[in-house]
Amino acid sequence: MELLDALIAGGWLMIPLLGCSLVAMVIIIERLWTLRAGRIAPLGLGQEVCTLINQGQVNLYWLEGHSPLGGILAAGLRNARLGHEQVRARLQEAATAVIHDMERFLSPLGTIAAITPLIGLLGTVVGMIEVFSVIVTVDGVERTADLAGGISRALVTTAAGLTVAIPALMFHRYFQRRVEDITVRMEEQAGLLVEYLAHHQGEVRLSDHRSGAAPGAAGGESRA
């Protein structure tokens, strides 16, 4: 009951603070699940694609469904016949879309980290106004309950705002760093593919067979 009493003491400003805390919690859980490096940019995928090219066939349908990095590499391979500059441009466009998806919800999380201390500060101001309003009355000294209520609101809202803001800011910075790390990993593997295509002799045989997920499945073959 102590927690409930504290929430009640905080007054109506606890409602937006609770809302911010719930939204932040949902975003943090979702981003922890989504921003997994192994899911977005599996290690060794670029080398695996180069090996498949060397073997004579790459299943683009399998590659696009493999991971976001696979979709980036597949986008570049679809333009392999147009030259290396087109491959680089298409890889960059596809990577930009993936990075934008990785940064989803980070802006709201940063906003929550910024505004919740201000909401707490507003609660402090409102509480102190109530305290001084009681003091200036004739019987202000005797109205200890009202004085305590104003002070409680000032302290509770400030503490609640900081309690929400600190973890939100920490996870916001953490997710930003994770996005940067995954981006570097994608750039390395995409660069490996571009370098391999630059030195590859002969045709790049591509397949878009959709009935099977095996990299070397036959069907829908095209050449670049």
Strand 205-207 and strand 221-223: pairing? Answer: antiparallel
Please enumerate in sequence order all residues whose Cβ is within 8 A of that of 33, keeping only pairs 6 or more positions apart, or say none. Answer: none
- Per 3-state DSSP, the chain is made up of helix, strand and coil in percentages (nearest 5) of 80, 5, 20
Task: Note the pLDDT tens digit of each residue in 43-74.
Answer: 989 889 988 888 877 888 888 889 999 999 99
**How many residues are listed for the chain in this entry?**
224
Q: Is 133's pLDDT higher than 90?
A: no
E-strand ranges in the chain read: 58-59, 205-207, 221-223
Q: Are 221 and 57 in contact (CB under 8 A)?
A: yes
The model scores a pTM over 0.85: no
pLDDT at position 212 is 47
Beta bridge partners of residue 205, listed in sequence order: 223
pLDDT at position 157 is 86
What's the angle, vertex CA 50, arms to CA 218 and CA 38, rounded to 5? Answer: 95
